[in-house]
Amino acid sequence: MVYSLTRRSFTAIAGGLLSGCSTLTQADVRLLARPGNAVTGCEPGVHPLGLRRERDSLLYAPKSVATDRPAPLLVYLHGAGGSEQQGIKKVSPLADESGFLLLSPASQGGTWDAIQDGYGPDVRTIDQALTRTFAMRYVDSRRIAISGFSDGASYALGLGLSNGNLFGSVLAFSPGFIPAGTQRSGKPRIFVSHGKDDSILPIASCSRRLVPELRHAGYPVTYREFDGPHTVPHEIAEEAIRWFFG
């Protein structure tokens, strides 16, 4: 399974990302939500957005984020088998410390649609979650990032490259590939990390091939390897957030 995913990534990059050939149109992966000046406001804490009864999207607003001025926003996409709770558990302490809003959506199925069958309902869910987030809190349009771990990192790369006019930064922790159907829009900067001992998505066939392809395509990429398995060490996560604010 790992091998087939990584082989698919190279096809996606060479055939879709770089040349623009794809069976999907740009509209299929384009997110339409944008920050505005009219917000209802919400108290600090975790707020279910009510998009689905199960596998909903959560907005976390730390006390460290002022309600009366635009704040940075980080969208976090969970790994395979995860849920909307994963982003809250893993990233909310960093949001408290650094002062940014956190949006943690869930895929409709066990993982994100483009990982298996192509972009579809998960794109629309994320768009709806962003729309509700922008209606609830002031967001700094210059500091919006999409991030994720494992399958979520692969999906974050795909959505980030396809929506570079919305996401100025992409944080991909241990990605496997770039989904087929991804197209270029804008020029987001990219942070990639990967463990040298990753047995789930081996570094040699994943990030060590993805990063040179992204750089060759003209994207500014910061790349960090670490001694460890399929995970995100705390120091790597902290560095990524500093990079986001840099």
DSSP 201: S
Quote the pLDDT of residue 28: 85
Quote the pLDDT of residue 23: 43
Distance CA 141, CA 216 (A): 27
Q: Give, for all 246 residues of the chain, the pLDDT tens digit.
A: 232 233 343 334 433 443 333 344 556 899 999 999 999 999 999 999 999 999 999 999 999 999 999 999 999 999 999 999 999 999 999 999 999 999 999 999 999 999 998 999 999 999 999 999 999 999 999 999 999 999 999 999 999 999 999 999 999 999 999 999 998 999 999 999 999 999 999 999 999 999 999 999 999 999 999 999 999 999 999 999 999 999
Quote the pLDDT of residue 41: 92
CB atoms within 10 A of CB 132: 18
Q: What is the pTM of this model?
A: 0.90
Q: In this structure, what CATH number is given to the domain that contains residue 190?
A: 3.40.50.1820
Say which residue the tokens 């990302």 belong to: 17
Judged by DSSP in three states, 131 sits in helix
Which structural domain range is residue 111 located in?
2-245
The total domain count for the chain is 1
What are the strands of the beta sheet with 45-48, ordered from one edge? 45-48, 58-61, 101-104, 71-77, 139-149, 169-173, 189-195, 221-226
Contact 85/56 with Cβ under 8 angstroms?
Answer: no
Distance CA 212, CA 182 (A): 17
